[in-house]
Structure 1
Amino acid sequence: MSETSPDVIQKDRKTSHTAVDTGLASEEDAEQLAKLGYKQELKRNFTMIEVFGIAFSIMGLLPSIASTLAYSIPSGPAGMVWSWFLASMFIFIVGLAMADLGSAMPTSGGLYWWTHFFASPKTRNALSFLVGYSNTLGLVGGLCSIDYGFALMLLSVVVIAKDGNWAPSNGIIYAVFLGCVICHGILASSMAKIMGKLQTVFVVMNFILIFATIIALPVGMASKRNDAQFIFTEVSNLTLWPRGWTFMLAWLSPIWTIGGFDSCVHMSEEAANATKAVPYGILMSIGSCWLFGWILVIVIAACMSPDLESLVGSKFGQPMAQIYFDAIGKKGAIGLMTLLFIVQFLMGLSILVAASRQAWAFSRDGALPFSRYIRPISVRLGHIPFRAIIFCVILAAILGLLCLIAPAAAQALFSLAVAGNNVAWGTPIFARLVWGQHKFKPGPFYTGRFSVPVAWTAIIFLVFGTTLAMFPVGGPNPVPSDMNYTVVVNGAVWLGALTYYFVDARKWFTGPKITLNLDDLSESQERAIVDEGIDVKAESGTQNVPLAKEVLKDG
């Protein structure tokens, strides 16, 4: 390796000094981002613990388990318990594969950036385009499913208070959902400067709810708790599928719950020491949910009614509400369900923050419709992508209209997030293994010789999870009201994105753009960008670079 002269080193720090002088980032973080072709535009407000916090908050362990009990209860208590343990183990392996990439190349648009970097020249633009759209839809679908779950939980409190003598219509559910989405948009825009600090509060709230449930349920069911044989060996089947497949469908609960870890990647450009904060945030959030989620489902299995059909068909509209009611009565159920929907609300706020960063990064590279309007950063609100937040809110409000069709259509919001994100997570890992392994340069976190087998295991699991998300939960030959609409919605997005690319976008979408200023692009940074796979040419002292224009700023 040739030595670098002091003059070049000094010149190489221009971009990082710009970021430091404006208080956006440290020199190290700004230089790391410059190697990927981007200048620092967002403020790095998030520490490693806060990056973990936003992922853990999005997962919202107990609210997510409560929202997806309809997937796991039909397989019986043993199905609930062991599906959680096994699925979480494979999700952790996916997290390891993503942590390798996140440590090496931390950028907000990481998933589609990595895809473009590792894929073959013939496929990179199309695959990058597909991943960007699938990831954006998956995150907004996650926002929809979280806020739909919030609406059901809030309304279940009303149903409990009315002793089950009232049931909300689909219109009322959508109205609550829409109000929740709008509130998230307002809070994500107005509280940006303290959003990192709030993640610590959100994590504490999650653990308060977890420990309250772990204590309250066993105490309330002291004389009626189920024994260990029931918890760990009793398998049921409340569907028309074979018993073994009903057990596999129970995996959808942990797969959906532990599905927000890619938010760490999307917060890369707002994280201090991102090469370490991103991978450890991913693994800490998955590991915490694996452990505490397993404890929770064991406690729920120990304290729930053996009459599983009464839970799935509860008059309160939520199996968890029925479990609370049976254990601690009306007032206790109202209290814990209130805390539950509050934590669920916080989940939605955190995932909107992550989704908006993905939408902003994708619009920065000109790939979304109306990118020039979505892309500007608001300095007045704290260097945040305000318009990207509004874009995600509008898209969520449109997707949420599925609530008005039927409960089965609304359930597509859950598997929509699973399928969309699985494709987005798996494609860059696959591209690295098949086309770009020789280009991979590990970051501070690296799984070493296990990296390739870990990545292949992750791919197999993600393909399985995507297939699983397409199945009707109740059984084969569904009627329209029981249909799983995920294949329709995701199929339309994937086919639409590829059609859009080959008909029009292939003429102008060339992958991630360089946003470094011409004056700030030094010789050594130019070489680093070439090493990262972005085409930079210098002719007669003039840099002929596919540079994006200076970021427009509103506010």
Structure 2
Amino acid sequence: MSNTPPLAKPEDAFTLAKLGYQQELRRNFSKYEIMSTAFTIIGLLPSIASTLVFAIPAGPVGMVWGWFIASSLTFIVSVAMADLGSAMPTAGGLYWWTHYFSAPAWKNPLAFLVGYSNTLGVIGGFCSTDYGFALMFLSVIQMAVGDNAKLPSNGIVYLVFLVCILSHATVVTFASKIMAKLQVIFMIVNLLLIAVTIIVLPIGKKRTNSAEFVFTKSENLSGWPPIWTFFLAWMCPIWSIGGFEACVHLSEEAKNATTAVPYGIMGSCGLSSILGLVVMAVFAACMPTDLNSLLNTPLGQPVAQIYLDALGRHGAIVMMVLLCIAQWLMGVSVLVAGSRQSWAFSRDGALPFSNYFSQINKTFGYIPLRTVWGVSFICLVFGLLSLIAPASAAALFSLGVAGNHLAWFMPIFARVVWGRDKFVPGPFYTGVWSIPIAVITCVFLLFSIVTAMMPASGPHPTAKNMNYTVVINCAVWGGALAYYYIDARKWFTGPKVTLDSASRSLLTVEDQEKIGKEALVDIRDPEPPAYSAT
């Protein structure tokens, strides 16, 4: 008799079996570890540092009140997603839900579109995280060298990016068995960094800006009308708080997933929203009143300039090093979540080489090892764009917003329009508020997608400052639909059933009897899967 512990408790295996899947990943993550992973992916302070440039043109009002409004709306999105995550927790949740709720004629093409948009979105998020690390790391070196430092070439930036990607893939591979515990440590590091920033910046600045400046001073340093400059400031929180979706991709590794997933989604988003508001207020209180000088800082990082003005060169270097550490930890968690989405989509046969990438590796702790390295390799290829046209690379990496937001929008929209009667609530459910919350979510996500595609500098962009997000995303979405209608429609029939007789034997007798009554899909024994655990 084997002493190997089961991959999951019977109740979790039953929940997944209702969706047609056998348990293949080990459930190591508690609800706190799931939330810690999402919070680390959000990487609040590093994310704000990378996106503050969107908020500064609207002045402190855009920074503080823009954060408050946009983060509040983002939290509503997290509640809508938590409703679905509690009811149907699976690693490929977004495209699975889209397929389940959509009208019959739209099921397959929309699920295919969402799956590709989400997969490339999380890959783009990983790219942007590590590319942001490379830029931040090199800005620290510039700060340390001083005025004689030369701007790093595109080749140097890519080299740092490459080393960062490979280091993340290596850590995710060899630390997989303790990855859940590491996420709690990563979250504590992020919280300590936020606490240090909130405390030391006002102390170092000594004479901070007035409350009137922080909460009522508005600017318009873009070429857009003031109201649209304010809306563009929302990109800072929208971009920064997007990581809560990771809870969905980790749901097949979560213990008590029907409660852990909604807890992780709303907990990470809510905590980030509150702490982010405090951080933005502190930055507004401690930054120079000449915002143009902040936007055009030779350091290339407004947050680095804020640290430098308040803490001096040595203090700023210390804080930026801590930011780099947090950004690197963020990349580990993003790769974990991204590899699970890619594995789930491969399990359903939708990605190229699905038979290869859908295999699970037992040696390293029942993880999708091949998608860990596959995602990393794709990121290295995408990163080559930074050698040619950094603006195009930045647009490609922006799939993390526009691509993911389309993937968030579609299942919630499908549930409201076609699937109200099919929805069976899980332990977390917002009741009569569920549909109004979903409607608000859909409107906000459409607005955020449009906003993410607008040129930040104004309505008359040049080739150099054009926002190529619209080009990249439309190419991805158009390409996915073209691929579906030209070829994939012949073989893609939506999520596959992998639950077989052997898998059912792991369930209790009572659960086996309930499966036939409560399953959300036809779970008759499928063809033997083309993939196997290695």
Query: So what's the TM-score if we normalise by structure 1?
Result: 0.92
Query: How far did residue 107 of structure 1 move?
Result: 0.5
Residues 340 and 368, structure 2, Cα contact 8 Å, conserved in 1: yes
- Identify the match of residue 88 of structure 2 among 96, 105, 127: 105
Task: Tell me by how many angstroms 1:43 deviates.
Answer: 0.5
Deviations 1:213-246 (A, max 9, x none): 11111011112x1001111111111111111111
Q: After superposition, what is the alpha-carbon deviation per residue over 1:76-112, rounded to whole angstroms, capped at 9, x for unaligned?
A: 1111001100000000110110000000000001111
Identity %: 57
Amino acid at match of 2:69: L
Aligned mate of 2:449, from 461, 466, 478: 466
Q: Distance in 1 between matches of 2:350 and 2:229?
A: 40
Q: 1:153-552 alignment to 2 at 5 Å?
A: 153-165=136-148, 166-223=150-207, 225-413=208-396, 415-521=398-504, 525=512, 528=515, 532-536=519-523, 545-549=525-529, 551-552=531-532
1:30 matched to 2:13? The reply is yes
**What pairs with 1:63-78 in structure 2 (closer than 5 Å)?**
63-78=46-61
Aligned residues: 529
CA contact (8 A) 1:472 1:483 kept: yes
CA contact (8 A) 1:36 1:529 kept: no
Contact in 1 for aligned 2:23/2:503 (Cα 8 Å): no
Paired residue type of 1:395: I
| In structure 2, distance between residues paired with 1:33 and 1:87 | 34
| RMSD, aligned α-carbons | 1.8
- Could you tell me which residue of structure 2 aligns to residue 147 of structure 1? 130
- In the alignment, the residues of structure 2 paired with residue 530 and residue 357 of structure 1 have an alpha-carbon distance, to the nearest angstrom, of 29
| Cα pair 2:126 2:331 within 8 Å, conserved | yes
Task: Report if aligned partners of 1:37, 1:529 keep a CA contact under 8 Å in 2.
Answer: no
C-alpha deviation, 1:492, in angstroms: 1.1
User: What residue number does 2:43 align with?
Assistant: 60
How far off its partner does 1:152 sit? Answer: 1.0
Spell out, residue by residue over 1:481-523, the C-alpha distance to the aligned partner (whole angstroms, 9 max, x if none). 1111111111111111111111111111111111112344489
Q: What's the offset of the Cα at 1:547?
A: 3.8
Runs of 4+ that moved beyond 6 A: none
| Whole-angstrom distance in 1 between the partners of 2:392 and 2:301 | 17
Task: State the distance in 1 between where 2:353 and 2:275 align.
Answer: 42
Partner Cα distance (2:500, 2:489) in 1: 26
The equivalent residue for 2:30 is: 47
Question: How far 1:528 moved relative to its partner?
Answer: 3.8
TM-score, length-normalised on structure 2? 0.96
Distance change (3 Å), C-alpha of 1:284 and 1:189: same
8 Å CA contact 1:34–1:525 kept in 2: the answer is: no
SS at match of 2:418: helix
Kindly provide the CA deviation profile for residues 433-459 of structure 1, in whole angstroms up to 9, marking residues without a partner as x: 111110100000000100000000000
Q: More deviation in 168-177 or 512-521?
A: 512-521
Name the CA shift for 1:153/1:378 in 2 (closer, same or farther; >3 Å): same
> Could you tell me how far 1:22 is from its partner in structure 2?
4.0
Provide the rounded CA distance (Å) in 1 between the counterparts of 2:515 and 2:408: 26
Shift of 1:384: 0.3
| 8 A contact 2:500–2:526 mirrored in 1 | no
Contact 2:355 2:530 in 1 (8 A): no
How far is the alpha carbon of 1:548 from its aligned partner? 4.9
Amino acid in the other structure paired with 1:463 = L
Relative distance call for 1:227 and 1:37 in structure 2 (3 A) is: same
Map Cα deviations across residues 332-373 of structure 1 (whole Å, 9 max, x no partner). Answer: 011000000100000011010000000000000000001011
- Partner SS, residue 384 of structure 2: helix
What per-residue deviation string (whole Å, max 9, x for no partner) do you get for residues 247-269 of structure 1?
10010010011001110000000
SS of the residue corresponding to residue 384 of structure 1 reads coil
TM-fit CA distance, 1:286: 0.5
Partner Cα separation in structure 1 for residue 486 and residue 166 of structure 2: 35
SS at match of 2:243: coil
Amino acid in structure 2 at the alignment position of 1:503: I
Q: Are 1:513 and 1:548, in contact at CA under 8 Å, matched by a contact in 2?
A: no
Aligned in 2, Cα 1:366/1:238: closer, same or farther, shift over 3 Å? same
Distance 1:482 1:521, change over 3 A: same
Report SS of the residue matched to 2:167: helix
CA–CA separation in structure 1 for the residues paired with 2:528 and 2:412: 27
Cα contact 2:356–2:531 (8 A) shared by 1? no
- On the 8 A contact 1:513/1:547 being kept in 2, the answer is no
Structure 1 residue runs without a partner (length 5+): 1-16, 537-542
Q: Is the 8 A contact 2:60 2:284 kept in 1?
A: yes
**In structure 2, how many angstroms separate the alpha carbons of the residues matched to 1:437 and 1:426?**
15
Amino acid of the structure 2 residue aligned with 1:128:
A
CA contact (8 A) 1:515 1:550 kept: no
Query: Mean alpha-carbon deviation: is it higher for 238-247 or for 523-532?
Result: 523-532
Question: CA offsets per residue over residues 522-550 of structure 1, 9 Å max, x none?
Answer: 897587467544235xxxxxx5x444517
Distance 1:470 1:263, change over 3 A: same
CA–CA separation in structure 1 for the residues paired with 2:202 and 2:334: 32
